[in-house]
Chain A
Amino acid sequence: MDDLEGVRQGDPEARERWVAAWWPRVYRMALAMTGREPDAEDLAQETMMAGLAAAERFRGDSSESTWLYAILLRKHLTRLRRPPAPLRRMSTPREPEVDDALALLADLPPAQKITATLFYVEDLPVKDIARALGVTGATVKWRLFRVRQTLKRRLGSDPSRIVCKELL
């Protein structure tokens, strides 16, 4: 029996194992989306809680990661619509490498940000990203093209040479 099945059956140990297994990936994805550790922790917790509450309804039509990322995106967009919460102080200074990565993503719109993170950090294929985000594969490819355009400028290269290779 896998942990999700255990969660469905109300097994508290399976629940803890399931949360522990997914927490790092969900947190890092939340960090990519929010750009701030305290917000990422809140978003990741909301996502995990929603995942636990919806475990009964998960039919396995997609992978667990795809399903959880879809929840995370919905939660993130809901949070963006709320009035902004006061900024909380970060408890520890951030690693420069993490800072660089977040700065690279900072100016992307949310849809491009999650697409880029799923593609470049989580290494998900276009098909799975499309399923997680509820869009077509062509939309994912178009977003990746826009991400490349923006990030190429940020990385200091000539934007005229970018091609949307998935569309070729």
Chain B
Amino acid sequence: MSDLDDRIRGGLTGLRHAPVPAVPKLRPARPEPRMGPPVLVAAAAMLLLLAVALTFMPPRRSAAEAALAERITSLEARIAKIEHDELRSLLGRELALLRRELELSQVR
């Protein structure tokens, strides 16, 4: 053991003698109280409602379709503000391509 190790050990001696608080009363986790029949019936009814709602809800757009639709909307807004004809035409072509892409993704 080097002199430095001894000095570090000596410097940390205080930790060995640090006062310790009283041992806490650690109780085991209590099991969840059992649910009564009314609670179970209510939970089952909620599940049923959820199932019905999911069955009759219109299908949501996929994330890719939603992103495409958003790009189309923003491009339309951008084109409306542009006065330069050539640029409008170029962006109009891009818009047409995006619309076609959206149609194709909805067919799939």
Chain A positions near chain B (C-beta within 8 angstroms): 10, 15-16, 19-20, 23-24, 27-28, 31-32, 37, 41, 45, 48-49, 52-53, 92, 95-102, 104-105, 116-117, 120-121, 147-148, 151-152, 155, 157, 162, 165
Contacts and interface: CB of A to CB of B under 8 A. Distances in A.
A109 B100 CA distance: 57
B11 A151 contact: yes
A interface secondary structure, majority: helix
A98 B11 CA distance: 9
Interface residues on B, range: 20 to 34
A96 B19 CA distance: 12
B interface secondary structure, majority: loop
A8 to B, nearest CB: 12
Contacts of A19: 23-24, 26
B18 A120 contact: no
B106 interface: no
B14 A20 contact: no
A117 B19 CA distance: 17
A151 B19 CA distance: 24
Interface stretch (B1-9, B46-54, B67-75, B91-99): B1-9
Contact of B11 (A20, A45, A104): A104
Interface string B7-29: 11101111111111101101011
Interface of B: 2, 4-5, 7-9, 11-21, 23-24, 26, 28-29
B4 to A, nearest CB: 6
Nearest to B1: A165
A45 B17 contact: no
Contacts of A116: 8, 12
A95 B14 contact: yes
27 contacts: A19-B23, A19-B24, A23-B20, A24-B20, A28-B15, A28-B18, A32-B12, A41-B21, A41-B24, A48-B24, A95-B17, A98-B14, A104-B12, A116-B8, A116-B12, A117-B15, A120-B5, A120-B8, A120-B12, A121-B9, A121-B12, A121-B15, A148-B5, A152-B4, A155-B4, A155-B8, A162-B4
